[in-house]
Structure 1
Amino acid sequence: MKKHTAQNIARVILGTGLIVAGIGHLTFARKEFQAQVPNWVPLKKDDTVVASGVVEIAMGASLVLAPRKYRPAVGILAASLFVAVFPGNISQYLNKRNGFGLDTDEKRLMRLFFQPVLIYWALKSTQKEVMKL
Protein backbone atom coordinates (compact mmCIF):
# COMPACT_ATOMS: atom_id res chain seq x y z
CA MET A 1 0.00 0.00 0.00
CA LYS A 2 1.34 3.42 -0.89
CA LYS A 3 2.28 5.69 1.98
CA HIS A 4 -0.13 8.38 0.78
CA THR A 5 -3.03 5.90 0.75
CA ALA A 6 -2.21 4.63 4.25
CA GLN A 7 -1.93 8.22 5.46
CA ASN A 8 -5.36 9.06 4.03
CA ILE A 9 -6.93 5.98 5.58
CA ALA A 10 -5.40 6.83 8.97
CA ARG A 11 -6.62 10.44 8.70
CA VAL A 12 -10.17 9.43 7.79
CA ILE A 13 -10.33 6.82 10.58
CA LEU A 14 -9.13 9.39 13.12
CA GLY A 15 -11.57 12.00 11.82
CA THR A 16 -14.45 9.55 11.91
CA GLY A 17 -13.52 8.54 15.44
CA LEU A 18 -13.60 12.17 16.52
CA ILE A 19 -17.02 12.66 14.92
CA VAL A 20 -18.40 9.60 16.73
CA ALA A 21 -16.84 10.73 20.01
CA GLY A 22 -18.27 14.22 19.52
CA ILE A 23 -21.73 12.80 18.89
CA GLY A 24 -21.26 10.73 22.05
CA HIS A 25 -20.53 13.93 23.97
CA LEU A 26 -23.89 15.28 22.90
CA THR A 27 -25.94 12.10 23.25
CA PHE A 28 -25.28 8.53 24.36
CA ALA A 29 -22.03 9.03 26.35
CA ARG A 30 -22.66 12.43 27.90
CA LYS A 31 -22.48 11.20 31.52
CA GLU A 32 -19.37 9.14 30.77
CA PHE A 33 -17.56 12.20 29.41
CA GLN A 34 -18.51 14.23 32.47
CA ALA A 35 -16.32 11.87 34.52
CA GLN A 36 -13.31 13.24 32.64
CA VAL A 37 -13.94 16.93 33.29
CA PRO A 38 -11.57 18.16 36.00
CA ASN A 39 -13.17 19.94 38.96
CA TRP A 40 -11.07 23.06 38.30
CA VAL A 41 -12.74 23.73 34.92
CA PRO A 42 -14.82 26.88 35.53
CA LEU A 43 -17.81 25.72 33.43
CA LYS A 44 -20.47 23.24 34.47
CA LYS A 45 -19.37 19.72 33.57
CA ASP A 46 -22.27 19.25 31.15
CA ASP A 47 -21.53 22.55 29.41
CA THR A 48 -17.90 21.52 29.05
CA VAL A 49 -18.89 18.15 27.59
CA VAL A 50 -21.29 19.74 25.10
CA ALA A 51 -18.75 22.37 24.00
CA SER A 52 -15.99 19.80 23.61
CA GLY A 53 -18.37 17.56 21.66
CA VAL A 54 -19.07 20.32 19.16
CA VAL A 55 -15.32 20.93 18.83
CA GLU A 56 -14.64 17.22 18.29
CA ILE A 57 -17.29 16.97 15.58
CA ALA A 58 -15.85 20.02 13.82
CA MET A 59 -12.30 18.71 14.16
CA GLY A 60 -13.26 15.25 12.91
CA ALA A 61 -15.08 16.72 9.92
CA SER A 62 -12.07 18.91 9.19
CA LEU A 63 -9.74 15.92 9.25
CA VAL A 64 -11.98 14.04 6.82
CA LEU A 65 -12.91 16.90 4.48
CA ALA A 66 -10.09 19.46 4.50
CA PRO A 67 -8.39 20.04 1.15
CA ARG A 68 -4.85 18.67 0.99
CA LYS A 69 -3.20 22.08 1.38
CA TYR A 70 -4.93 22.64 4.76
CA ARG A 71 -4.34 19.17 6.20
CA PRO A 72 -1.04 19.98 7.95
CA ALA A 73 -2.70 22.86 9.82
CA VAL A 74 -5.73 20.72 10.66
CA GLY A 75 -3.41 17.99 11.96
CA ILE A 76 -1.67 20.46 14.25
CA LEU A 77 -5.05 21.65 15.52
CA ALA A 78 -6.19 18.07 16.12
CA ALA A 79 -2.95 17.27 17.97
CA SER A 80 -3.48 20.44 20.02
CA LEU A 81 -6.99 19.27 20.90
CA PHE A 82 -5.58 15.97 22.16
CA VAL A 83 -3.07 17.90 24.27
CA ALA A 84 -5.82 20.19 25.59
CA VAL A 85 -8.06 17.34 26.75
CA PHE A 86 -5.21 15.39 28.37
CA PRO A 87 -5.77 17.03 31.78
CA GLY A 88 -9.22 15.41 31.73
CA ASN A 89 -7.63 11.99 31.34
CA ILE A 90 -5.21 12.78 34.18
CA SER A 91 -8.11 13.99 36.35
CA GLN A 92 -10.05 10.81 35.66
CA TYR A 93 -7.03 8.78 36.78
CA LEU A 94 -6.18 10.86 39.86
CA ASN A 95 -9.78 11.12 41.05
CA LYS A 96 -10.51 7.44 40.32
CA ARG A 97 -13.56 8.28 38.20
CA ASN A 98 -15.03 5.43 36.21
CA GLY A 99 -16.04 5.96 32.62
CA PHE A 100 -15.86 4.09 29.31
CA GLY A 101 -14.93 0.85 31.04
CA LEU A 102 -11.99 2.54 32.76
CA ASP A 103 -13.00 1.20 36.16
CA THR A 104 -9.60 0.39 37.66
CA ASP A 105 -6.48 2.43 38.31
CA GLU A 106 -4.59 0.22 35.87
CA LYS A 107 -7.05 0.85 33.03
CA ARG A 108 -7.15 4.59 33.71
CA LEU A 109 -3.34 4.68 33.77
CA MET A 110 -3.07 2.79 30.47
CA ARG A 111 -5.45 5.35 28.93
CA LEU A 112 -2.89 8.06 29.67
CA PHE A 113 -0.37 6.33 27.43
CA PHE A 114 -2.83 6.31 24.52
CA GLN A 115 -2.99 10.12 24.34
CA PRO A 116 0.51 10.52 22.83
CA VAL A 117 -0.51 7.93 20.22
CA LEU A 118 -3.47 10.13 19.24
CA ILE A 119 -1.22 13.19 19.03
CA TYR A 120 1.24 11.33 16.81
CA TRP A 121 -1.60 9.92 14.71
CA ALA A 122 -3.06 13.39 14.11
CA LEU A 123 0.29 14.75 13.02
CA LYS A 124 1.53 11.78 11.00
CA SER A 125 -1.73 11.34 9.08
CA THR A 126 -1.84 14.97 7.94
CA GLN A 127 1.71 16.13 7.42
CA LYS A 128 3.46 16.38 4.11
CA GLU A 129 6.15 13.89 3.17
CA VAL A 130 8.92 16.42 3.94
CA MET A 131 8.02 16.50 7.64
CA LYS A 132 9.71 13.58 9.33
CA LEU A 133 7.93 12.42 12.49
Structure 2
Amino acid sequence: MKNYVETTLTQKVFRVIIALFMIVAGFSHLTFNRVEFQAQVPEWLPMSKDLVVILSGIVEMILGLGLMFWKKQRVNFGWALAIFYVLIFPGNISQYVEGKDFASLDSDTARLIRLFFQPVLIAWALWSSGAWKAWKTRND
Protein backbone atom coordinates (compact mmCIF):
# COMPACT_ATOMS: atom_id res chain seq x y z
CA MET A 1 0.00 0.00 0.00
CA LYS A 2 1.13 3.53 -0.70
CA ASN A 3 2.50 5.56 2.22
CA TYR A 4 1.74 8.83 0.51
CA VAL A 5 -1.05 10.07 -1.74
CA GLU A 6 -1.96 13.57 -2.81
CA THR A 7 -4.70 15.17 -0.76
CA THR A 8 -6.94 18.16 -1.37
CA LEU A 9 -6.63 21.49 0.39
CA THR A 10 -9.73 20.61 2.42
CA GLN A 11 -8.14 17.34 3.54
CA LYS A 12 -4.95 19.19 4.47
CA VAL A 13 -6.87 21.71 6.57
CA PHE A 14 -8.79 18.97 8.38
CA ARG A 15 -5.56 16.98 8.84
CA VAL A 16 -3.91 19.96 10.53
CA ILE A 17 -6.96 20.45 12.76
CA ILE A 18 -7.02 16.83 13.94
CA ALA A 19 -3.22 16.80 14.32
CA LEU A 20 -3.30 19.94 16.48
CA PHE A 21 -6.14 18.45 18.51
CA MET A 22 -4.04 15.33 19.16
CA ILE A 23 -0.93 17.33 20.09
CA VAL A 24 -2.87 19.51 22.55
CA ALA A 25 -4.72 16.50 23.97
CA GLY A 26 -1.44 14.62 24.42
CA PHE A 27 0.18 17.61 26.10
CA SER A 28 -2.81 17.93 28.43
CA HIS A 29 -2.42 14.25 29.39
CA LEU A 30 1.09 15.02 30.58
CA THR A 31 0.36 18.33 32.30
CA PHE A 32 -2.79 20.23 33.28
CA ASN A 33 -5.39 17.44 32.81
CA ARG A 34 -3.29 14.52 34.02
CA VAL A 35 -5.31 13.83 37.20
CA GLU A 36 -8.63 14.23 35.37
CA PHE A 37 -7.54 11.75 32.69
CA GLN A 38 -6.48 9.26 35.38
CA ALA A 39 -10.06 9.27 36.63
CA GLN A 40 -11.20 8.23 33.14
CA VAL A 41 -9.05 5.09 32.96
CA PRO A 42 -11.33 2.05 33.38
CA GLU A 43 -10.94 0.08 36.60
CA TRP A 44 -10.64 -3.18 34.67
CA LEU A 45 -7.44 -2.07 32.91
CA PRO A 46 -4.60 -3.93 34.67
CA MET A 47 -2.09 -1.06 34.60
CA SER A 48 -1.23 2.00 36.61
CA LYS A 49 -3.69 4.75 35.71
CA ASP A 50 -0.90 7.30 35.66
CA LEU A 51 1.15 5.15 33.29
CA VAL A 52 -1.84 4.76 30.96
CA VAL A 53 -2.36 8.52 30.90
CA ILE A 54 1.32 9.25 30.29
CA LEU A 55 1.68 6.64 27.53
CA SER A 56 -1.55 7.64 25.81
CA GLY A 57 -0.47 11.30 25.94
CA ILE A 58 2.88 10.47 24.33
CA VAL A 59 1.17 8.37 21.66
CA GLU A 60 -1.31 11.18 20.94
CA MET A 61 1.50 13.70 20.51
CA ILE A 62 3.50 11.36 18.24
CA LEU A 63 0.44 10.66 16.10
CA GLY A 64 -0.41 14.34 15.82
CA LEU A 65 3.14 15.39 14.98
CA GLY A 66 3.59 12.54 12.51
CA LEU A 67 0.30 13.28 10.79
CA MET A 68 1.22 16.93 10.49
CA PHE A 69 4.88 16.76 9.50
CA TRP A 70 5.92 13.30 8.20
CA LYS A 71 4.53 13.56 4.68
CA LYS A 72 6.01 10.30 3.35
CA GLN A 73 4.41 8.29 6.17
CA ARG A 74 1.18 10.25 6.43
CA VAL A 75 -1.01 7.33 5.30
CA ASN A 76 0.52 5.10 7.97
CA PHE A 77 -0.06 7.77 10.61
CA GLY A 78 -3.68 8.06 9.44
CA TRP A 79 -4.15 4.31 9.93
CA ALA A 80 -2.37 4.43 13.28
CA LEU A 81 -4.58 7.27 14.50
CA ALA A 82 -7.72 5.42 13.38
CA ILE A 83 -6.55 2.31 15.23
CA PHE A 84 -5.79 4.43 18.31
CA TYR A 85 -9.38 5.73 18.26
CA VAL A 86 -10.63 2.14 18.06
CA LEU A 87 -8.41 1.09 20.97
CA ILE A 88 -9.60 3.87 23.28
CA PHE A 89 -13.27 3.28 22.46
CA PRO A 90 -13.75 0.69 25.26
CA GLY A 91 -12.60 3.38 27.71
CA ASN A 92 -15.21 5.75 26.33
CA ILE A 93 -17.86 3.06 26.72
CA SER A 94 -16.67 2.49 30.29
CA GLN A 95 -16.91 6.21 31.00
CA TYR A 96 -20.51 6.19 29.77
CA VAL A 97 -21.50 3.03 31.66
CA GLU A 98 -19.85 4.17 34.90
CA GLY A 99 -21.14 7.73 34.57
CA LYS A 100 -17.72 9.36 34.99
CA ASP A 101 -17.68 13.10 34.34
CA PHE A 102 -14.91 14.88 32.48
CA ALA A 103 -15.03 18.48 31.30
CA SER A 104 -18.19 18.90 29.20
CA LEU A 105 -18.93 15.17 29.46
CA ASP A 106 -20.95 15.75 32.60
CA SER A 107 -24.17 13.91 31.73
CA ASP A 108 -25.22 10.55 30.36
CA THR A 109 -26.46 12.30 27.23
CA ALA A 110 -23.12 14.01 26.60
CA ARG A 111 -21.19 10.79 27.20
CA LEU A 112 -23.54 8.89 24.85
CA ILE A 113 -23.18 11.48 22.08
CA ARG A 114 -19.40 11.14 22.42
CA LEU A 115 -19.68 7.43 21.61
CA PHE A 116 -21.34 8.24 18.29
CA PHE A 117 -18.62 10.79 17.50
CA GLN A 118 -15.86 8.16 17.70
CA PRO A 119 -16.57 6.73 14.20
CA VAL A 120 -16.43 10.31 12.90
CA LEU A 121 -12.91 10.68 14.32
CA ILE A 122 -11.87 7.38 12.74
CA ALA A 123 -13.22 8.45 9.35
CA TRP A 124 -11.64 11.89 9.76
CA ALA A 125 -8.20 10.37 10.39
CA LEU A 126 -8.46 8.02 7.41
CA TRP A 127 -9.88 10.60 5.01
CA SER A 128 -7.67 13.56 5.90
CA SER A 129 -4.45 11.50 5.78
CA GLY A 130 -5.28 9.99 2.39
CA ALA A 131 -5.37 6.50 3.94
CA TRP A 132 -8.77 5.73 2.40
CA LYS A 133 -7.56 6.78 -1.03
CA ALA A 134 -4.35 4.78 -0.62
CA TRP A 135 -6.35 1.71 0.39
CA LYS A 136 -8.81 2.09 -2.49
CA THR A 137 -5.97 2.49 -5.03
CA ARG A 138 -3.59 -0.08 -3.47
CA ASN A 139 -3.60 -2.33 -6.55
CA ASP A 140 -3.11 0.45 -9.11
- TM-score, normalised relative to structure 2: 0.86
CA RMSD of aligned residues (A): 1.5
Structure 1: which 5+ runs fail to align? none
**Deviations for 1:34-84, whole angstroms, at most 9, x for unmatched residues?**
2321111111111110110011011110010011x3211110001000101
Identity %: 49
Q: Which amino acid aligns with 1:98?
A: D
- TM-score, normalised relative to structure 1: 0.90
- Of 86, 92, 95, 2:95 maps to 92
Q: Which amino acid aligns with 1:12?
A: V
Q: Which amino acid aligns with 2:36?
A: E
CA contact (8 A) 2:75 2:134 kept: no
Aligned residues: 129
> In 1, Cα distance between the equivalents of 2:122 and 2:134?
18
Residue in 2 that maps onto 1:38? 42
* Residues 28-107 of structure 1 mapped to structure 2, 5 A cutoff: 28-67=32-71, 69-107=72-110
CA contact (8 A) 1:22 1:54 kept: yes
CA contact (8 A) 1:89 1:112 kept: yes
Tell me, yes or no, if structure 1 residue 127 matches structure 2 residue 140: no
Residue in 1 that maps onto 2:21? 17
CA shift, 1:131, in A, is: 5.0
Q: Which amino acid aligns with 1:88?
A: G
> SS in structure 2 opposite 1:125?
helix
Which one has more relative contact order, counting CA pairs under 8 Å at least 6 apart? 2
Query: Which stretch shifts more, 35-44 or 85-94?
Result: 35-44
Runs ≥4 residues deviating over 2 A: 128-132
Structure 2: which 5+ runs fail to align? 1-6
> In 1, Cα distance between the equivalents of 2:32 and 2:43?
22
> In 2, Cα distance between the equivalents of 1:130 and 1:118?
18
